[in-house]
């Protein structure tokens, strides 16, 4: 069974199934297609599947032309019919792992996907979970569901965990060049997993188990969350002392060892950094441990939108305005620059806070022309064009995400008040306040 699957991977005759065709699944699909594999993609949203089959893209940085070419070549098809999951030789799960309302792990998408796959599993398949999760998920949740069919993991079906490492719109790294961590339930599982990913990425990094791979992903993101929490707290201290935190970071970054620059902002966004630390803190409690350091960083980062809100309130007061009835234009509502990804964006939380206090809120974001439906918030708004006339019309401009497309000279020249959360403006000006 193992050798037959390895041979199919090696000669590119294996069919790859990718479940979840979003920011992780679509780039992975394109990479498998690029080297000659046929990919059958699955998404619970039939509208998305239809759009992909028509050669359309619903993610800005993924070109529709590449999807059209994959479809036209007969190497890619999207489906909402999970009963077809018996067709692929590899099943790669790329579904969300959010938090619930109590900030506890919500594995509903992972478990729901596995339950949908379970009746259609067949010998000779490899199952890989890429969704970020707590250590133990692969073996505690996926393995029993496979074995309930009477299959032996490592003999009939091969099970691995290989965390996604996508950085949307980063021109310096792409799926092929980002090293891939892989942990298998057995040695044969690992051999199949490394062969699968080795066919499409330059370097596969094997680890001893799925638990080690799951912990690796959490460490990567917690490392970033903790350091961002540190620099966000330093920003607050520096602000009170009237010190330019960006000058300080730039100076510290000249040290050629022992320092890596991180930059403050209005809060954490994206699907990984604001969420993943809580997956570890939740699991650690099972072992009687309190991850105080990690949780403190989470508290600091979660409090940043409130701090920005207070800075905006003070800035409006200094200009003779209250938040109530003020017209506020939020610049950039994606979670980071130059993408259309809205997941966990602190800009949206700030918009909700401003509305709650009676402000009239609008936004401008060239990457998000119409405010999408997201889990927690919804605004019936469309992006406002950024012109001198538009800028004159608002009491304050809240710079939340520093897209390259914005004309920052125009903004500084024409706006009555700019509250800058990203350190775009380094020169002191009467109408610019750092937050």
CA angle 352–334–200, rounded 5-degree value: 145
Identify the bridge partners of residue 76 per DSSP, sorted by sequence position. Answer: 39
Structural contact between residues 396 and 362, judged by C-beta atoms closer than 8 angstroms: no
Q: How many CA atoms lie within 13 A of 409 on its CB side?
A: 0
CA distance 127 to 146: 9
Going by C-beta distance under 8 Å and a sequence separation of 6 or more, which residues neighbour residue 251?
A: none
Structural contact between residues 349 and 307, judged by C-beta atoms closer than 8 angstroms: no
Sheet-wide strand order for 76-79: 76-79, 38-42, 15-19, 90-93, 125-129, 157-161, 180-184, 204-207
CA distance 415 to 425: 13
Quickly count: other Cβ atoms within 10 Å of residue 59's Cβ: 18
In terms of residues, how long is the chain? 435
CA distance 192 to 180: 14
Strands (E), 67-170: 76-79, 90-93, 125-129, 157-161
CA distance 420 to 311: 10
Structural contact between residues 335 and 344, judged by C-beta atoms closer than 8 angstroms: yes
| Residue in 94, 182, 189, 272 annotated catalytic | 272
Quickly count: other Cβ atoms within 10 Å of residue 84's Cβ: 14
User: What phi and psi values does residue 334 have, to the nearest 5 degrees?
Assistant: -70, 160
Considering only CA atoms, which of 305, 313, 387 is closest in space to residue 346?
305
What Cα–Cα distance (Å) separates residue 181 from each residue in 139, 259, 381?
Answer: 17, 25, 41
Q: Say whether 272 is catalytic.
A: yes
What does the block give as tokens for 253? 């970054």
CA angle 121–122–128, rounded 5-degree value: 60
Residue 209 region by backbone torsions, left for phi larger than 0, else alpha for psi between -120 and 50, else beta: beta
DSSP element (H, E) containing 364: strand 360-364
Which residues are known to be catalytic? 272
């Amino acid at each position: 069974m193992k050798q037959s699957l390895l041979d199919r991977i090696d000669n590119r005759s294996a069919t790859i199934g990718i479940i979840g065709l979003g920011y992780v699944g679509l780039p992975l699909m394109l990479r498998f297609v690029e080297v000659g594999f046929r990919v059958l993609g699955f998404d619970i949203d039939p509208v998305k599947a239809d759009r992909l089959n028509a050669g359309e893209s619903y993610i800005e940085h993924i070109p529709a032309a590449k999807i059209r070419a994959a479809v036209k070549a007969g190497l890619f098809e999207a489906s909402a019919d999970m009963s077809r999951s018996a067709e692929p030789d590899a099943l790669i799960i790329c579904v969300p792992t959010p938090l619930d309302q109590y900030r506890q792990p919500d594995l509903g998408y992972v478990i729901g996907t596995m339950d949908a796959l379970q009746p259609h599993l067949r010998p000779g398949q490899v199952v890989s979970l890429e969704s970020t999760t707590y250590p133990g998920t692969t073996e505690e949740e996926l393995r029993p569901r496979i074995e309930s069919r009477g299959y032996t993991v490592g003999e009939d079906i091969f099970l691995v965990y290989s965390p996604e490492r996508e950085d949307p719109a980063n021109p310096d790294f792409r799926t092929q060049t980002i090293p891939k961590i892989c942990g298998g339930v057995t040695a044969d599982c690992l051999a199949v997993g490394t062969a699968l990913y080795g066919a499409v990425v330059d370097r596969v990094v094997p680890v001893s188990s799925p638990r080690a791979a799951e912990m690796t992903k959490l460490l990567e993101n917690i490392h970033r969350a903790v350091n961002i929490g540190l620099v966000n707290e330093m920003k607050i201290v520096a602000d009170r002392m009237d010190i330019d935190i960006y000058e300080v970071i730039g100076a510290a970054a000249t040290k050629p060892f022992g320092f890596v620059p991180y930059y403050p902002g209005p809060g954490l966004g994206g699907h990984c950094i604001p969420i993943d630390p809580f997956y570890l803190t939740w699991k650690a409690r099972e072992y009687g441990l309190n991850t105080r350091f990690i949780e403190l960083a989470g508290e600091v980062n979660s409090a940043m939108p409130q701090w920005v809100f207070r800075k905006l309130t003070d800035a409006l007061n200094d200009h003779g305005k209250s938040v109530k009835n003020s017209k506020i234009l939020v610049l950039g509502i994606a979670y980071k620059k130059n993408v259309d990804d809205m997941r966990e964006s602190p800009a949206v939380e700030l918009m909700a806070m401003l509305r709650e206090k009676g402000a009239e809120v609008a936004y401008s974001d060239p990457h998000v022309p119409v405010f999408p439906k997201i889990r927690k918030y919804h605004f019936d708004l469309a992006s406002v064009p950024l012109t001198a006339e538009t800028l004159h019309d608002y009491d304050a401009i809240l710079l939340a995400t520093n897209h390259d497309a914005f004309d920052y000279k125009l903004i500084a020249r024409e706006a009555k008040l700019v509250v800058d959360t990203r350190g775009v403006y380094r020169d002191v000006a009467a109408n610019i306040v750092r937050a």
